[in-house]
Amino acid sequence: MESHPNPAPAAKRPRRRRELLFAIAFLLVTALLLHFAAAVLRPAQTSYGSTWSAFLAEPEDSLDVIYLGSSFAYCDINPSIVYEHSGLTGYVMGGSEQPLSITYWYLREILRTQSPEAVVLEATSLYFKRYQNYTQTNIVPMPFSLNKLGAVFTAAEPELRLGLLFDLYFYHGRWQELGRADVKKALFPHQWDEKKGFTPMNEVLEGVGEAPYVADRQVSGEDYANNLFWLEKVIGLCREKDIRLILTVNPSYTRCTPEAYASLAEDVHAIEPSVEFYDWSAMFEEIGLVPTLHLYDGGHLNQDGAAVFSAWLGGFLTGELGLTPRAQTAENTAAWQSCVAWWEDYLAQ
């Protein structure tokens, strides 16, 4: 039989189409494998903020309050204790030294699955620089979405963007330390836990709590204006979604002067007068906090301090501000009660 080294164009066309389909299939499978490899190699983020995998395990539209901000949010607020004293479900979705630009993209992403009544934003980030030290830790754990891309391109240092888009760039060297837990985390990315974004600090560092360190934080005019720009976007988003925005300054022995916070409140109210602003930085006694027992490092509360403050906060949110817990499924109520019990045991140890 005679061979045809150059098949007729009509015969070539179906082959080309078939090859194209196979090429697309190959690229899709490769993308899936890459995604899986990245998920295995990416380190788990279960504390110190940005705990997206646990957050995404929360039932949709089940959270009453979202707590945002920096370490002052995730060290000071224990949502399970807030729930115990108010019935308000909540989650801390702050991140280490998180600038407001990232906070804005966090809130947008959070609102894809949750519809909180209020957002409590710890306001210290208004004094942060445009880029702080933990951009990578803040953005990498975000689920891939337009909001993550927004964070990468508007809130991250340009030199980090490649790694933030393709995080094997940061973490591929972890292959030497992989364990079963890393594979499990990739196979089951939504891992529920009792901490609800809270990070317990279990000690009082030496010398902490004897006298407060009061000094205004230094921030450049450009950075401050940038922070107010992103705050305005947060305010706009809350307004659009009919969410109460509450700005707080949590109790701290590393704080600014009352005048600085008053000035901050003025600037916030110049953007939106209805935003509620509370300076609790010096209210240790009123809340029931004992500085030598309840501070971790002067700036942040330890787990016992967070328990005291969270109990007080729960009362404040429902009593003073009139927030009301939404109805929960029996299953979720049981889950929250198990968290309360878990924390009682944990703190009693």
Partner 1 sequence: MTFLSLPFFCFFPITALGYFCLPRRVKNLWLLLASWFFYLWARPVYLSLLLFVIAASYLTGRLLAGRRKKGVLALCLAVLGVLLFLFKYVNFALSLAGQALGLLGLTVSMPVLELVLPVGISFYLFQAMGYVIDVYRGKAEAQRDFLRYALFLSFFPQVVSGPIARADQLLPQFDRPHPFQWDAFRAGLFRFLWGAFKKMVLADQLAVLVNTVFAAPESYGAVQLAGAAVAFSLQIYCDFSAYSDMALGTAGAMGFTLMENFRTPYFSRSIAEFWRRWHISLSSWFRDYLYIPLGGSRRGTARKYVNVLIVFAVSGLWHGAAMTFVVWGVLNGLYQVAGALTQPLRDRAWAALHVSPEGKVRRLVQVGCTFVLATIAWVFFKASTLEGALAVLGGILRGPLWVPLSMGLNRWDLLAVAAGLLLLLLVDLRSVNHSLTGGYLALPRPGRWAVLWVLLFACLIFGSYGTGYDAQSFLYGFSF
Among 34, 187, 215, 270, binds partner 1 (CB under 8 A): 34
Q: Token match 């594979």: residue?
A: 183
Among 13, 17, 112, 172, binds partner 1 (CB under 8 A): 172
Among 7, 11, 13, 30, binds partner 1 (CB under 8 A): 30
Pick the closer one to partner 1 by CB: 178 or 334: 178
35 torsion bin: left (phi>0), alpha (psi -120 to 50), beta (else): alpha
Minimal distance, residue 35 CB to partner 1, in Å: 12
Pick the closer one to partner 1 by CB: 164 or 313: 164
Question: DSSP code of 119?
Answer: E
DSSP-based helix, strand, coil % in the chain, nearest 5: 55, 10, 40
Separation of alpha carbons 132 and 50, rounded Å:
15
Residue 54 exposure: Cα atoms within 13 Å on the Cβ side: 20
Minimal distance, residue 173 CB to partner 1, in Å: 5
Binding-site size for partner 1 (CB under 8 A) equals 20
Separation of alpha carbons 294 and 276, rounded Å:
26
- Can residue 33 be called a binding residue for partner 1 (CB under 8 A)? yes
β-strands 65-68, 254-255 pairing: unpaired
Minimal distance, residue 168 CB to partner 1, in Å: 5
Q: Cβ(263)–Cβ(279) under 8 Å?
A: no
Minimal distance, residue 169 CB to partner 1, in Å: 4
Pick the closer one to partner 1 by CB: 19 or 210: 19
Structure tokens at 69: 């901000």
User: Which range, of 30-38, 75-83, 148-156, 263-271, touches partner 1 by CB under 8 A?
Assistant: 30-38
Chain residues binding partner 1 by CB under 8 A are 16, 19, 22, 26, 29-30, 33-34, 37, 41, 162-163, 168-173, 175-176
